[in-house]
Amino acid sequence: MSTILLLNGPNLNLLGTREPALYGSTTLADVQALCERVCQTAGHSLEAFQSNHEGALIDHIHSAGQRFKSGELLGVVFNPGAYTHTSVALFDAITGVAPMPLMEVHISNVHAREAFRHHSYVSPAAAGVIIGLGVEGYTVAVQALLRRAPNAPR
């Protein structure tokens, strides 16, 4: 049994409580429960962490990299929030733990929004990018990591 880390960046703690037209009415706790169910069905576990602080997210990526190396962690599902569009430090952290797979998720279609949301510092370091599927994108990302697991059914 291995673990997937679900990582969420700034303001995603507000999910489901505000701006439902953009982000839907599912809460972050609901998202975590959904992802946990998908992992458990495949015989794995899920850990979740949300932070509004860039350094805390970086620390979790570093420790995920160690745990990936030891075979304890399958990879990371990450919605970096607005840090997506600003953070060279997150790019460096993710490339620093290569080849740990990290799936970048955005609930909204960032390409249909303001121009400043069209560029991601994270995408070039990510194993995959899921954009605009709503909160369902998180479970798609979890499934993509599960399929990469050693001994995953083909």
Q: Which residues are catalytic?
A: 23, 106
Q: Give the integer Cα–Cα distance in Å for 150 and 136.
A: 24
Q: Give the integer Cα–Cα distance in Å for 136 and 41.
A: 17
Binding ligand CA2 by CB under 6 A: which of 2, 79, 87, 139?
A: 79
Contact mark string toward ligand CA2, 5..44, x via CB under 6 A:
------xx-xx--xx---x---------------------
Residue 84 engages ligand CA2 in binding (rule: CB under 6 A): yes
Residue 108 CB, shortest distance to ligand CA2, in Å, is: 3
Residue 107 engages ligand CA2 in binding (rule: CB under 6 A): yes
Listed in sequence order, the residues at least 6 apart from 93 whose beta carbon sits closer than 8 Å to its beta carbon are: 57, 58, 61, 62
Q: Look at the block and give the residue holding tokens 């569009």.
A: 85
Q: Give the integer Cα–Cα distance in Å for 80 and 85.
A: 9
Q: Which is nearer to ligand CA2, 55 or 132 (CB)?
A: 132
Residue 106 engages ligand CA2 in binding (rule: CB under 6 A): yes
